[in-house]
Amino acid sequence: MKFPIIPALIAAAAMLSPIRTYAHADADTTAQAGQRSRLSLGGYGEAVMTRNFYSDKPHRYSAPDLYKNESHGRFDLPHVVIYLGYDFGKGWSMGTEIEFEHGGVESAVEIENEEGGEYETEVERGGEVALEQFWIQKSFTPQLNVRAGMLVIPIGGTNAHHMPTEFFGVCRPEGENTIMPCTWHEVGISIWGKAGAWRYEAMFLPGLDSERFGSQGWIHDGSASPFEFKIANSYAGAVRVDNFSVKGLRLSLSGYLGNSFRNTLYPTQGEKNNGVTGTVAIGAFDFNYSGGGFVARGHFDYGHLSDSKRISDFNISMPKSSTSKRQKVAKAALTTGIEAGYDMFHLSSALRAGRQRLYLFGRYDYYDSMLKMEKDMDEKWCGRQRVAVGLNYYPIPQIVVKGEYAVGILDKRYNNEPSLSIGIAYSGWFL
């Protein structure tokens, strides 16, 4: 599949959120301390129903002819998040974010009377519960703030602006949500600040773990750790710069660089691994524009992985009991997307006064987690286009009801993937 050129991708784009961006990153500066309560409480959440008009069988890409005309449905709570922050004064503040993904985790020990009164442990509901943010910050001036702890890594548009009121689709933009961790968070240290129409952030953090890379998700799972700690045999850096010079327009550049190969407990010694670093380099551009009832957003992300052939061989040779996906991984991945919507209620002064909004939107994505592969790899199903149309209704700024019809367009040897989704979400601050 060749990468389509999208002239509109360099056009203006937009930002819509009523919630503070960077996951309340800018809410805890000394300059604001006297203007608000010392305690900050907020969050966001999503409930989604989807009907997918394609197969969910694991071999649907290796034998596509066997899985035509299938469908399946899902109900889900993708993300339910609670924010809690506090300003201690004298420039010191803290913030936390607890996330429940897909309804959390429910397990219990039960006595099975049908089996002679034996004790059994049962998992009653899948999902995850994670501390996605915990940081302590010292603010010196609006231009200089230092933060340490579990931080969101704002690479790309979705990581930096991932609240459900900050994108039109029922679920997060598929491309960035596939090839990179999302929401990407690591324990590290950052320096950030604002000066005029500019905002910057620079971060020092542990490198990714190449043992957990894979075909469909590229480096997506590389930030996770199955251990009680994050291995940091290698380090990485991330930067982001935003510009707000034009009213209603934000232009952003972000980048990441770090080694990944030896961030594992599994032995990596040996002559064949000499010089292998697994350097991950990502460059991203995203933008947002809002004005006159019109909203547009877009992003372009390109990533490169050195030593991908050696890492693929290493991962495939891992034991089945390991946490590795045991898959091939590409030396390059790409995602790009643009969405635009118009508020139909903007045409009515009465509806505008009531702060209701009804956006008719369209979205286009292209992404490929196996953009550049070694000669012995054939994973063309990992590259696809996605076209979506839908509605977003805001009865109040903090709540949105979403509906969307989308089609994933794959290489001609595979089946396309249409879907219909409905969701409701909120994001906002209570204190």
Q: Closest Cα partner for 67 from 425, 421, 410?
A: 410
Q: What's the pLDDT tens digit per position in 11-35? A: 333 333 333 445 454 544 433 444 5
Query: Is 418 in contact with 429 (CB distance < 8 Å)?
Result: no
Kindly write down the DSSP assignment for every residue of 163-185, as one continuous string: SGGG-SSSSS-HHHHHHS-TT-E
Two structure tokens written together for 267: 């032995």
CB neighbourhood size of 239 (10 A): 16
Distance CA 332, CA 227 (A): 28
Give the confidence band of 9 by pLDDT, cuts at 50, 70, 90: very low
Q: Closest Cα partner for 32 from 134, 145, 159, 136?
A: 145
At 414 the three-state DSSP class reads coil
Query: Is 194 in contact with 142 (CB distance < 8 Å)?
Result: yes
CA distances from 143 to 83, 194, 239, 249, 254 (A): 24, 5, 15, 21, 19
Share of the chain above pLDDT 70, in %: 89
Query: Does residue 259 surpass a pLDDT of 90?
Result: yes
Fold classified for 28-107+120-429:
Porin (2.40.160)
Two structure tokens written together for 421: 């989704």
Q: The pTM is what?
A: 0.89
Q: What's the pLDDT tens digit per position in 359-398? A: 999 999 999 999 998 777 778 899 999 999 999 999 999 9
Domain boundaries, the chain: 28-107+120-429
Two structure tokens written together for 418: 């249409």
Beta bridge partners of 101: 128
Q: Closest Cα partner for 210 from 85, 318, 127?
A: 318
Place of tokens 């005029």: 196
